[in-house]
Amino acid sequence: MVKIGILGPVGSGKTTLIEYLAKTFSPYHRVAIITNDVVSNYDAERIYKDLVDSGVIPRENVIGIVTGGCPHTAIREDPSVNLRALQRLSKNSPDLILIESGGDNVMSTFSPSLADYTVYVLDTAAGDKYPRKGGLGIMESDLLVINKIDLAPYVGADLQKMREGAIYVRKGKPFVMVSLKTGEGLDEMVKVIRDDLGV
C-alpha cells in the first residue's frame, strides 16, 4: 500500500490533481482517497460526485475528514484522525491511497507515519516569487507541481522565473510545470510518480 500526500494552498489544484491521479491509476490499482477540510466536507462531496458516481472508485474508498482547526496538525503534529482513516481503508485492501491536506502554507509537511511520498502543489497565480521564496513544503516534498501554467500570462507570472526558482531551491529534486485544465505537462508528472514509486 503506497500513501501519497498532496499539499498546497487553497485553490492551488489539490483536489483536481487527486481526481486526475485517481482516474490515471484506477485501471491498474485499487485507489482510495482521504480528504482533509477545516470546516466542511466540500472536497469529499466533490470526489463522491466526480469519481464515485461515475464508477472510478467505490464510495467506501473515500473518507472525508473535517479537522476543525489548523490543517497542519491533522497531517503532521497529531495525525491520529488520518491514521484511523487509513486503518479503516486498509480493510478494503487499496494499493494506492491519496491523502489531501486541508489548504495549507509553504511550511506544511506530512508526518512520515502518514505519507510515503509527498506532492506539493503551487499555483502560478500565487506569484512568480514562488517557488524561490522557499518553505519546507516546496523544498522538501518528493515532487513539486507548479500548476495553472496556462494562467501565467493573465496574472503576470514569469514561468521562466518560477522554473529557475524551483531549480535553485529543489537542489536536484524533481518538479514539473503543468496545467490540470489543458493537460500540458501531465504525462511528465505521471512518469515522475511512476518512476519514483514503481506504480
Domain-located, residue 64: yes
Residues 6+ positions from 23 with CB-CB distance below 8 Å? 51, 56
* Angle between helical axes of 186-197 and 14-25 (0-180°, round to 10): 70
> Is 15 contained in some domain?
yes
Q: How many CB atoms lie within 10 A of CB 173?
A: 14
* Claim: this prediction has a pTM higher than 0.85: yes
User: Does residue 198 form part of some domain?
Assistant: no
Of the ranges 46-60, 98-112, 127-141, 150-164, which one carries the lowest mean pLDDT score? 98-112
Q: How many domains does the chain have?
A: 1
Q: Is residue 136 part of a domain?
A: yes
User: Strands 175-177 and 31-37: what pairing?
Assistant: unpaired
196 lies in some domain = no
> How far, in Å, CA of 97 to CA of 89, rounded?
9
pLDDT band at 199 (very low <50, low <70, confident <90, very high): confident
Whether 66 maps to a domain, the answer reads: yes
Residue 197 counted as domain residue: no
**Predicted confidence (pLDDT) at residue 68 exceeds the cutoff of 90:** no
Residue 177 is assigned to a structural domain of this protein: yes
4-18, 33-47, 145-159: range with lowest mean pLDDT:
33-47
Which structural domain, as residue segments, surrounds residue 64? 2-190
- What CATH number does the domain containing 58 carry? 3.40.50.300
**Four-residue CA torsion sign, 97, 102, 105, 111:** negative
